[in-house]
């Protein structure tokens, strides 16, 4: 068995009130390859994890995406004792620990790059991101301008101010090695974020099994077409496609 990547400076964190089973699965997939100081699932759901390294931390319900942003910006740091925090979600996790680069820890914020921006403030996505505890503390500073979503608040709205506080954002090329989302390549990155990437990242059948267990399937609505195109491939694909379309119609 290949030894796990040892990252004692990192706390693995996921915050969710929905799709909690899928979130636990993302934590488990990550922990299969990475040995961290702590792995936390912060949720109001009355769940227990069979994985010995996952600690379930009770929190108040996260009732919206805006509430999620507020928690990440103002409360998550209270649960992190290490120098860095690796934030993941149900639709993003570690892909290949052999693609880890020590330079990732040299920065205060790194996430998949945003191809829609060309002003140099294009790193990046918070759904699978590595951020320093120092940066997380600064997000509670009165001078920090709170907004939603939290990754845009950090990486665009407040980036210049954060850099003035000596915070370092990873360059785009390194961010693409760290994670894939709207840009990047899941066959070459350490991790990824985005349900539309999951059929490629984990395989169509594993993704479909996971999808059928989601309690909030609206999260795939924005990328419905991309997911539909992928899951209709292979044996039984037309049945999966029909089921996916019916799910969206019901909503």
Q: What is the pLDDT of residues 101-151, one digit of tens each?
A: 999 999 999 999 999 999 999 999 999 999 999 999 999 999 999 999 999
Half-sphere exposure of 184 (CA within 13 A, CB side): 30
Q: In sequence order, what are the residues at sequence separation of 6 or more whose Cβ sits closer than 8 angstroms to the Cβ of residue 125?
A: 111, 112, 113, 114, 151, 179, 181, 182, 193
Determine the Cα–Cα distance for residues 132 and 141; give it in Å rounded to an integer.
15
In contact, 74 and 118? CB cutoff 8 Å: no
Instruction: Output the six-digit token pair for 133.
Output: 């505890």
Determine the Cα–Cα distance for residues 71 and 19; give it in Å rounded to an integer.
17
Domains defined for the chain, CATH in brackets: 5-193 (3.90.550.10), 202-250 (no CATH)
pLDDT digit string (tens) for 56-79? 999 999 999 999 999 999 999 999
The DSSP result for 158-176, as a single string, is: THHHHHHTT--BPPHHHHH
Whole-prediction pTM = 0.95
Instruction: Output the six-digit token pair for 235.
Output: 């044996």
Tell me how far CA of residue 216 lies from CA of 11, 17, 22, 70, 242, in angstroms: 26, 10, 11, 20, 18
Instruction: Tell me which residue of 124, 93, 99 sits closest to 111, measured CA to CA.
Output: 124
Determine the Cα–Cα distance for residues 187 and 173; give it in Å rounded to an integer.
15
Alpha helices of 39-96 — where are they, by DSSP H?
65-74
In contact, 70 and 146? CB cutoff 8 Å: yes
Instruction: Output the six-digit token pair for 212.
Output: 């059928």
pLDDT digit string (tens) for 158-205? 999 999 999 999 999 999 999 999 999 999 999 999 999 999 999 999
């Amino acid at each position: 068995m290949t030894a796990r990547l040892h990252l004692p400076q990192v706390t693995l964190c996921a915050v969710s009130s929905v799709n909690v089973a899928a979130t636990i699965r993302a934590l488990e997939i990550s922990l299969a390859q990475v040995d961290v100081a702590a792995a936390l699932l912060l949720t109001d759901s009355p769940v227990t994890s069979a994985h010995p390294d996952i600690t379930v931390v009770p929190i108040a319900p996260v009732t919206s995406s805006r509430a999620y942003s507020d928690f990440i910006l103002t409360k998550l740091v209270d649960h992190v004792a290490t120098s860095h925090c690796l934030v993941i979600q149900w639709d993003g996790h570690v892909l290949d620990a052999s693609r880890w680069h020590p330079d990732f820890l040299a920065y205060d914020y790194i996430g998949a790059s945003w191809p829609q921006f060309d002003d140099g403030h294009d790193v990046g996505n918070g759904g699978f991101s590595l951020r320093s505890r120092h940066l997380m503390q600064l997000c509670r500073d009165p001078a920090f301008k709170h907004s939603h979503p939290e990754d845009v608040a950090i990486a665009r709205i407040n980036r210049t101010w954060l850099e003035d506080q000596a915070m370092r954002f990873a360059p785009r090329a390194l961010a693409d090695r760290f994670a894939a989302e709207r840009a990047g390549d899941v066959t070459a990155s350490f991790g990824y974020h985005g349900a539309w990437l999951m059929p490629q990242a984990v395989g169509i059948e594993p993704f479909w099994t996971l999808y059928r267990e989601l309690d909030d399937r609206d999260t795939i609505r924005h990328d419905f077409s991309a997911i539909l195109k992928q899951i209709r491939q292979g044996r039984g694909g037309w049945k999966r496609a029909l089921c996916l379309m019916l799910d969206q119609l019901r909503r």
